[in-house]
Structure 1
Amino acid sequence: MKKVLVPLLLMVCISAYAQDPHFSQFFSSPLTLNPAYTGKFDGTFRVAGNYRNQWPTINNAFTTATASVDFALLQNRIPEFDTWGVGIMGLNDQSGNKILNNNFISVSTAYHKALDENGYHTLTVGFQGTYANKRLDLTRVTFEDQLTAFGFTRATDEVFNNSNVTIDYFDVNAGMLYSGSTNGFNNFYLGASTYHISRPEEKFTSTGEKFILNQRLTVHGGGYVPIGRITTFHGSFIHQRQAGATETVLGGAIAFNLSDDEDIETNLYTGLWYRFGDAFIPYVGIEFSGFRLGYSYDINNSSLKTASNSRGGNEISLIFIRKPSDPGRKKLGCPKF
């Protein structure tokens, strides 16, 4: 390992220790953002999926995919507007053209306590446990002794016990969320989460340097408000810090109601977010019959744009929320973006 030369691999390994996988559509990946989102939606269950291909021109630098499902328990045994949510999530992150493969399985729970008799305001505490498996594929690595005057043309003399080096560990995350509404037709929220509370150790060799995974601290918020008969403005922000690296994203979208039926949400979304110092993120989405499909593309404007040809990353999200069958039920104002 000490003679690894490929700059991309070095970038991948440093990034893997410094920052978690992330999505530009952070608002469409609830269980990677804050465990307190577990069960926070207007419906009986929610299924969410995301796929991201970042910097595809740099040898498939990062590809990330996740899928989750969450739902409410004991709704008839707790106060009317309280919710106890439980969820499970799987995430796969591949770096450096699949040289580093990360897999995570998480189980989360959250209790949403109503603060008023109408259920407009809630306060939530959530927790999440994660099992992580990371594998480094040495068959894809290029070493210094393979370099000749004609490029990397010879076999390496490095000897390893096996072609894959793996690490496993358990991790703990937690978060809080406040959500409110003034009339049931708008919503505003503010949340905070901490990932890697247990500070697990990452170490690929028995004699090499060990890394203690740094905590990821996140503050996020947003809301939506009607601005016309058929239009609604949705806005959100996120600020994250981990191992000295920071990320701040701010933006919003306009929803155009395509249906005259208030009980059947059919909306078209167009919007723009900005990741400060890095990229513009245009977004389009469509919502119908409980589904919300979103697409975004990072337009890189940082110093990396020379290598990336100003291409950031494609990202797709899909959320399905099963609505209750009671047509006369009271709608709950929940965060959407």
Structure 2
Amino acid sequence: MERCELEFWSAKAYRDYKFNQVAVRVRSLIFLLCCLWISAGAQDHVYSQFYNAPLYLNPALTGQFEGDFRMNMIYRNQWSGLSGDLSYLSASADLNIPHFGGGVGLQFTRSSEGIAYLRKNNIAATYSYSVGGDDFVTSFGIHAGFTNRHIDLDKLVFADQIDASTGFIPGSSTSAQLPDISNRFYFDAGTGVNMVFRNFMAGASIYHINKPDESFTEVQSKLPMRIVGYASLKVSLLSQYSYYEDDGMYVIPSVVYYQQGASQAFSVGAQLKYRSVNMGLWYRTSAQNTPDALVVSFIFDIFKNGKNGEKLRLGISHDATTSKINYTNTSGSTEASVGYEKYFPGSSSYNKFNGLRCYDFY
């Protein structure tokens, strides 16, 4: 009798264990989908190192640097503690062409979200035109490109494909109605303006001004415009100061505002910059204006002022999640960036820049 009871309870315990395993997986899936829903409320991703993705921040920053040629790349791995993929990449190259009145650039952006690998790939051209003098420069920019949105429907698992005791049923199919298509292409456009006055910089940009339709079904789903506004102030910590100099010690407070649809978010912080080293601390709110993350960042400029004005910039930052999903669940988010700029050999612009450049604020 005791042996039978033991076998019965062992079998029951095993079934409970298997059921709990399935329940944990389902809860994890639901949790991830909730997280994706939260992030989808803002639609576009946000970089903590916004200053190292200049063309993603504002097309008016195209060509706004000291040199003839610049490249930037930034990668973000978001909430690495969760299952599924939440990663983002932006890469850009732009030219500063004084005789052209500004600059031209090319940008590629890629995002991958969720267990079904919802991906977006965008390639766009940017152009900026600048006016001003020694102490004041205003730049106007435009952004135009194409986006491909793709989802891998085969990676989705539905309730009728899960058994309570064994989990996912291999080879099973679902009766759920799937989207008609898994690829979507659309034109995307944006514009922006940036102003630098001595030790103060401010700007604003609008992306998706044509509100493209992202839907995979016959039900229309317009992508809301992404509106960005920002301001930075460069404050010297030394008694002798010129806003044209870049080798002193500065504190640079900044604020960035994001709005997309009904979602709003802020990023507020400051950087301590000394010669080729930059350390930053930031506080960011989420799309619902609730606490989102504390961010620590470091930037290092390598072989600055080298041959042909070459400069290599390396950046690293980490977000400590402060929202309700907390750091324990997410393990935070990490970003890495690299930037490179130089003058072309024999450039007529070498050492003739007027000193007003956006990079002074980072």
Give the TM bin, normalised by the shorter chain: 0.7 to 0.9
Q: Provide closer, same or farther for how the CA distance between residues 10 and 281 of structure 1 changes in structure 2, counting only shifts above 3 A.
A: closer
Q: Provide closer, same or farther for how the CA distance between residues 292 and 198 of structure 1 changes in structure 2, counting only shifts above 3 A.
A: same
1:165 equivalent in structure 2? 182
Letter of the structure 2 residue corresponding to residue 281 of structure 1 = V
In 2, the alpha carbon distance for the partners of 1:107 and 1:327 equals: 26
The counterpart of 2:215, out of the listed 187, 200, 203, is 203
Is 1:274 equivalent to 2:274 in the alignment? no
Which residues of structure 2 form unaligned runs of 5+? 1-25, 241-247, 286-290, 304-310
C-alpha deviation, 1:307, in angstroms: 6.1
Letter of the structure 2 residue corresponding to residue 64 of structure 1 = Y
CA displacement, residues 275-330 of structure 1 (integer Å, 9 cap, x when unaligned): 03111101111112311111000011111106625x32000111111146676534
In 2, the alpha carbon distance for the partners of 1:226 and 1:204 equals: 52
1:262 equivalent in structure 2? none
C-alpha deviation, 1:13, in angstroms: 6.0
Paired residues, number: 308
55-64 vs 156-165, which moves further: 156-165
In 2, the alpha carbon distance for the partners of 1:317 and 1:232 equals: 22
1:123 equivalent in structure 2? 138
User: 5 Å matches for 1:34-53?
Assistant: 34-53=58-77
Q: Percent identity?
A: 28
In 1, the alpha carbon distance for the partners of 2:34 and 2:149 equals: 16
1:301 equivalent in structure 2? 322
1:238 equivalent in structure 2? 256
User: 5 Å matches for 1:206-285?
Assistant: 206=218, 209-228=219-238, 230-257=248-275, 267-276=276-285, 277-285=291-299
Is 1:54 equivalent to 2:78 in the alignment? yes
- Contact kept, 8 Å, 2:180 with 2:217, in 1: the verdict is no
In 2, the alpha carbon distance for the partners of 1:314 and 1:214 equals: 27
Is 1:90 equivalent to 2:108 in the alignment? yes
43-52 vs 224-233, which moves further: 224-233
State the TM-score, normalizing by the size of structure 2: 0.78
Q: Provide closer, same or farther for how the CA distance between residues 330 and 147 of structure 1 changes in structure 2, counting only shifts above 3 A.
A: closer
- Contact kept, 8 Å, 2:75 with 2:88, in 1: the verdict is yes
311-320 vs 87-96, which moves further: 311-320
In 2, the alpha carbon distance for the partners of 1:217 and 1:124 equals: 17
Q: Provide closer, same or farther for how the CA distance between residues 17 and 328 of structure 1 changes in structure 2, counting only shifts above 3 A.
A: closer
In 2, the alpha carbon distance for the partners of 1:192 and 1:40 equals: 15
Q: Which structure would you say has the larger Rg?
A: 2
CA displacement, residues 216-251 of structure 1 (integer Å, 9 cap, x when unaligned): 111111132331384222232200111211110011
More strand by share: 1
2:12 equivalent in structure 1? none
The counterpart of 1:288, out of the listed 302, 310, 326, is 302
User: 5 Å matches for 1:68-147?
Assistant: 68-73=92-97, 75-76=98-99, 83-97=101-115, 99-114=117-132, 116=133, 118=134, 120-147=135-162
CA displacement, residues 41-70 of structure 1 (integer Å, 9 cap, x when unaligned): 111111000000000111144100111001
Letter of the structure 2 residue corresponding to residue 192 of structure 1 = A
- Secondary structure of the 2:56 match is helix
In 2, the alpha carbon distance for the partners of 1:88 and 1:49 equals: 12
Letter of the structure 2 residue corresponding to residue 24 of structure 1 = S
- Contact kept, 8 Å, 1:58 with 1:307, in 2: the verdict is no
More helix by share: 2
2:54 equivalent in structure 1? 30
- Contact kept, 8 Å, 1:109 with 1:128, in 2: the verdict is yes
Q: Provide closer, same or farther for how the CA distance between residues 39 and 105 of structure 1 changes in structure 2, counting only shifts above 3 A.
A: same
Q: Provide closer, same or farther for how the CA distance between residues 21 and 86 of structure 1 changes in structure 2, counting only shifts above 3 A.
A: same
2:201 equivalent in structure 1? 189
- Contact kept, 8 Å, 2:116 with 2:154, in 1: the verdict is no
Letter of the structure 1 residue corresponding to residue 156 of structure 2 = V
State the TM-score, normalizing by the size of structure 1: 0.84
